[in-house]
Structures are given as structure tokens and as C-alpha cells.
Structure 1
Amino acid sequence: MDNSNSKTALAKTALVLGATGGIGGEVARQLRDAGWTVRALCRGGEQALERRDGMVWIRGDAMNRADVVSAASGCQVIVHAVNPPGYLRWAELVLPMLDNTIAAAQANDATIVLPGTVYNFGPSAFPLLREDSPQEPVTRKGAIRVELEQRLRTASDNGCQVIVVRAGDFFGPKVGNSWFSQGLVKPNLPVKAVQLPGAHGVGHQWSYLPDVARTMVALVQRRDTLEPFATFHMQGHWDADGTQMAAAICRVVTKRGGAKPAVRAFPWWMVALASPFVATLRELREMRYLWHVPLGMDNTKLVATLGYEPHTPLDEAVEAALEGMGCFAAEAAAAIKSGVVRIAAH
């Protein structure tokens, strides 16, 4: 952090929306560890205000503008990492949630930080995404993400600073819903098999969640040097032929004493059968096109801004992810014994 910048040096309070989720929780913890006062808005809890994990948890709803504006009072940064649970009413709720965040940011002259996605892009931007690549989505969800970022751009034209960090598919110890934790392997169970959603030979972009959070925090610390609407892409971990992530999982499992997992094709046929009845599976099926083409990201702008990109070696990151998910024998056995195993529907 540049201590010569008084605003950046002194302003140290952030509101995180979605702090109980994967990316929101990781950013909240890393902001806390970097010396920030972190407020986390959450729907659960019996108290209106609770201090735990070194953060201030505030009861409220991201769909309620008054709750968001109140929680953001005096904040210099708002991390918008909230999504409707299980994709339920996703199209209906996502944009109103963002509008509430924009209103809170404008009321407090705060910077909005958004975890971006690749859903905004279609084949016209492939195979290498840059910050200025055309956003021509081919799915309903992608069109909503384009509209979401357009509203942020409009807000930035009206004096609200925005930072968007776009990365590949998340994986990590506490990632929640993700292709890694819900598709390739299953949480709280020993890894007996790895399921590959993509075709052999098709490259895919992965991003280790703690690296993404570190990147966001580093950019927040430099926010006064950035343009009003600043978008950055992370290179993350590039799986050149669609098999390297599975190979890393197999290496880590055998290193920890397990039998080498089988590697299988993801059962897309099951998704097709079940998707009419399960909202999450409908969303997965809609985004299947991202597994049919190689899709990488250019981090030139990020490296030029920070001088580096946070990057944990692949095997180290995979081991931390599997351990955090309870996939090793001791953790899985404890989970089974305590009756907390939850098998994700595919």
C-alpha cells in the first residue's frame, strides 16, 4: 500500500455482501488480515450485530436497499459477491441486488468490487479473453451479466468507482458451489473418481480462490491509482488439454496415501434428464458450451498494474482445496461418522 496516498492509507472499512459464500468469504478474511475493518451482511443469525472471526456480522438482506445502505455507512469499499442461493430466482434477483449496492456505494463514495465471470463472452471473444474483448453472450445468464456490468459502468460515469476482477472456474478450500467441488469431485468423501466435464484436448481456465481474493485486495489497496471502471483478468491455472486438473487431483490423492482415482467423463446425460426439475442443473447445462472450446485469459493489464499475479502452485492449491472440502481419508471418515456428509446432485 502506498502510504503517500492519504485516502487509501486511512480508509480501511469494507462491507462484504456474500461473505458466507466462497469468493465473498475469502475476500472478507483477506481484507481482515490486511488490517481492514470488515462488515459482513448476512440473512441468518439471531442478533442484529455480532462480532466473530474478527469481523462484524450484520443481519440484513441484500434485496433490501435500506439494509445495504445502512450496513455500508462509512465504508470505503463494498465487495459485491452475493448471489441467490442455488440459482433460485437468479434472473429476477441479481440486478436488483446490484442496484442496492450501487445506491449504497453512491451514498458513501465507496468503491464497488465485483468478482466477474466469463459468461459475458461468446465465441466471438474466444479463445483468449482480454478486458476489451467483445461481450456478445450466447446464454440468458450471460446477457444478465453483461447488463450487470453495464449498470456498473453507468455508475462509474456518475462518480462511483468500480473494480471488476475476472477469473476462470474457482477452486479452493471453501469455494462452495463450483465445478471443482460439485462436478469433478464430491465434498466430504474420499476421492475415488474424477469427472471431466470437457472434451479431451480442450483447454480450460481455473483460478485458485485465495489467489483471486489476494488479487482483489491488492487492487483495492491501489484503488486510487485506477481508472473509474477498472477491469482485470487473471491468468490463474491454464489446463492446456483439459486433463491437467484431473492429473493434479490424482497426484495429490496418491501423495496423501489414497488409491489413484479413476478419471471419467462427466455424466452430461444425467444433467439433461434432471435439469427440468433442478434449477442448478439447468444452469450447468446452459453453460456447457464453455467446456467445448479452449478459453484462456490474458493477464497483461493485471501484471502491468500490480507487477505480478498471485499464483499458488497447482498441486499445493489442489491439496488445500481437497483438504478443505474434507476429501482425505481422516476428514472424510470424521464427516461420515458425524453424519454431515452431503452429496451434491449431478
Structure 2
Amino acid sequence: MDTEKRTALVLGATGGVGGAIATALIGNSWTVRGLARNLDAARRSGVAGIDWVAGDAMNRADVIGAAQGVSTIVHAVNPPGYRNWGELVLPMIDNTIAAARDVGARVVLPGTVYNFDPAHTPVLSETSPQTPKSFKGRIRAELEARLERAAPEVESLILRAGDFFGPGARSSWFAQGMVAAGKPVRRIVKIARGAGHSWAYLPDLAQAFAQVLERPEALRPFERLQFEGIYDESGTVMIEAIERQVGRKLPVYRFPWWAMHLLAPFGGFAREAADIAAVWRHPMRMDNTRLVELLGAEPRTPLDTAMHQSLVAMGCIEPKAAQVGMPGLTLSL
């Protein structure tokens, strides 16, 4: 890629996904600009090398101003506190599309599985029908539809992945559900109600974004890709990986989905959880054929290494714990 075109604006760079993508791009010699309402807080976010600009993703003029001179806009921004999705998500993508149209940039979107019906899409591909049953899923489907309608005038790339884990993945089911951050792991909460859940190690996913953007000439005007990541076919792969890092078997408790459905009418987290509960009930695997066609191979850190780095970053184990194994097991990190 022409070095003069290696400048990206990352919206949501203080978040887990946006920060990881920004880090990967900087590591690949990109110039990265970030938009933040609070510059002091943004500079303390932990991502080094970002050129921060004051502004709000809800303000179209701010986004257009920050996008001047960039070739790529990474749309990894979410409403503050993940609240008011219905009022904020679509106006923000409209602002990003307007900015991309103004400067001739490609929009890059981290996609999710929420815009599919998990009961009828056990394997997700670029052609899988989007028939979401959840409120959040319908918003995500419309978000992607707006990018598709904007093409080819505004080019875009969507890379979908499963649930995140890894350093920086703070607002995730892994970090806020399966294990408790900041304390030794004494138990594991099993979120999935069945087998066949997809997970994405955040540094690998970020590298996939960075590597795909190295090949703009190979991308379609509207490109939808899937990141396979780790497919937990048995429902125990992630649990056993945690146990290998801790060095012993741990009590495993089921997540109280029944309570989420019971409390959903009162709003808050319970309503949000109940809305997307189906993705934890049905198997969903990512078909990464097109991604592998572009890259040759998907970035893939060995699971034990990824789990070790995740738990260390969360403050759950010390780095030396990588040397501890369960009887009969040898860890290779």
C-alpha cells in the first residue's frame, strides 16, 4: 500500500476492539488518529502512538473534521455504557459514512453474530441471511445494510467474529462473566447453554483487520468476512484452557439465564442479556473461507498462550503461572 495512504481514523479507540485494531495498525506502520470526547482520559487509555483529536462520534462535523486526510475509518464505537442503542448506533454509522464519502475513505466495521438467527445459521458465511430475532440484532443488521447501500461510492469492510477474550477485552462475556477480573480464579461460570460457541482472541482479530487492509486492491467495494477464531465444539474447550493455566480442576457453575429472562422486564443488564440469549443456546461457527483466500491463513495464537496472556492481563494469574500445569499436561507458551 502507498505509504501516503496508510492513515486511519479509529472511532472507539479507547475501547477493547478499537484499541486492539489501533495497536495492530500502528504495529504495521500506519498513522492512527483517534477521536475522543475527553482527550486526557483517551491518552491514559493505554494505546500508545495514537494522534488524539477532540470530538464526538455523534457530531457529524467532528467526524468529518477528524477524517481529513485518512484512507480508512474504523467504526468500533459504541454508545457510552452500551446504553441507548436504539437512539445512538445508527446516527453514528451515518456520520461515519458521511465522513468516508467526504474524504474517499473505506469504512471498517467489527461485526457481530447478533444480526443472525442462531437457530437457523449454524455456520455463518458472507451470504447467510440476516433474520435477527433480538432488538440489538435488528439494529446491527440495519447498520450493515446502510454500509451496503452506500457502496460502491463508499467502500466498506465488515469482519465478523465471535465473543472476544484477551488483553483489552474488558467489556466481554469472558472478562465479566466466565471469570472474575482482579482476583485468583477459583471458579468458572459456563455461559453457553450448549456446545458450539465461537470465540475470538482479540489480538488475533486485530491482526486480521490490519493484514486485510494491506491488500486494498483485492477487496470488493462491499466486503463481508468471517473470523473463525476458536470454535468451542464441545462446550468445554475454554473451560479446560482456563484450568490448564490455573493448574487444577475448578468448580463450574452455570450462568443463571433463567434469572435474566425473569428480570428482563425491569431493564438493565438482565434485559440486554435476555435479548441475545439465543446466541449462547445454538451453535454458530464462522466460515472464514474468504478471509483465508485473502490472507493465506488466519492469525492464530495457540490457545494456551492466548489464555495465559488473557488471565495475566486480567490480574487473575501471575506470568510465572505459565509454568504450572495439571498432572500429565505440559504447557507450551
TM, length-normalised to structure 1: 0.87
User: In the alignment, which residue of structure 1 is the partner of 2:325?
Assistant: none
User: In the alignment, which residue of structure 2 is the partner of 1:244?
Assistant: 237
Q: 1:206 to 1:50 in 2, by over 3 A?
A: closer
2:142 and 2:104 map into 1 onto residues whose CA distance is 22
- Does 1:11 find its partner at 2:1? no
Match of 2:79 among 84, 92, 97: 84
Contact 1:164 1:231 in 2 (8 A): yes
Farther-moved stretch of structure 1 (109-118 vs 278-287): 278-287
Structure 1 residue 300: Cα displacement: 0.9
Unaligned runs of 5+ in 1: 332-346
- Does 1:93 find its partner at 2:82? no
- Does 1:196 find its partner at 2:225? no
User: In the alignment, which residue of structure 2 is the partner of 1:304?
Assistant: 293
1:316 and 1:113 map into 2 onto residues whose CA distance is 28
2:23 and 2:120 map into 1 onto residues whose CA distance is 34
Match of 1:280 among 251, 269, 276: 269
Deviations 1:269-294 (A, max 9, x none): 44345544452332111111111111
Q: 1:241 to 1:49 in 2, by over 3 A?
A: closer
Match of 1:295 among 284, 306, 319: 284
Instruction: Give the secondary structure class of the aligned counterpart of 1:16.
Output: strand
Contact 1:194 1:246 in 2 (8 A): yes
2:136 and 2:41 map into 1 onto residues whose CA distance is 35
Alignment RMSD (CA, Å) = 2.2
- Does 1:111 find its partner at 2:100? no
Instruction: Give the secondary structure class of the aligned counterpart of 1:221.
Output: coil
Report the identity percentage.
49
User: In the alignment, which residue of structure 1 is the partner of 2:225?
Assistant: 232
User: In the alignment, which residue of structure 2 is the partner of 1:215?
Assistant: 208
Match of 2:67 among 67, 72, 84: 72
TM, length-normalised to structure 2: 0.90
User: In the alignment, which residue of structure 2 is the partner of 1:253?
Assistant: 246
- Does 1:185 find its partner at 2:179? yes
1:113 and 1:279 map into 2 onto residues whose CA distance is 29
Deviations 1:99-151 (A, max 9, x none): 01001111110011000011111146421111101111111111111110010
- Size of the aligned set, in residue pairs, is 319
User: In the alignment, which residue of structure 2 is the partner of 1:320?
Assistant: 309
Structure 1 residue 329: Cα displacement: 5.7
Farther-moved stretch of structure 1 (119-128 vs 212-221): 119-128
Q: 1:140 to 1:49 in 2, by over 3 A?
A: closer
Q: 1:213 to 1:193 in 2, by over 3 A?
A: same
Structure 1 residue 186: Cα displacement: 1.4
- Does 1:173 find its partner at 2:162? no
1:31 and 1:278 map into 2 onto residues whose CA distance is 38
Instruction: Give the secondary structure class of the aligned counterpart of 1:83.
Output: coil
The code of the aligned residue for 1:169 comes to: D
1:221 and 1:233 map into 2 onto residues whose CA distance is 17
Instruction: Give the secondary structure class of the aligned counterpart of 1:217.
Output: helix
2:172 and 2:53 map into 1 onto residues whose CA distance is 26
User: In the alignment, which residue of structure 1 is the partner of 2:150?
Assistant: 155
User: In the alignment, which residue of structure 2 is the partner of 1:40?
Assistant: 34
User: In the alignment, which residue of structure 2 is the partner of 1:338?
Assistant: none
User: In the alignment, which residue of structure 1 is the partner of 2:124?
Assistant: 129
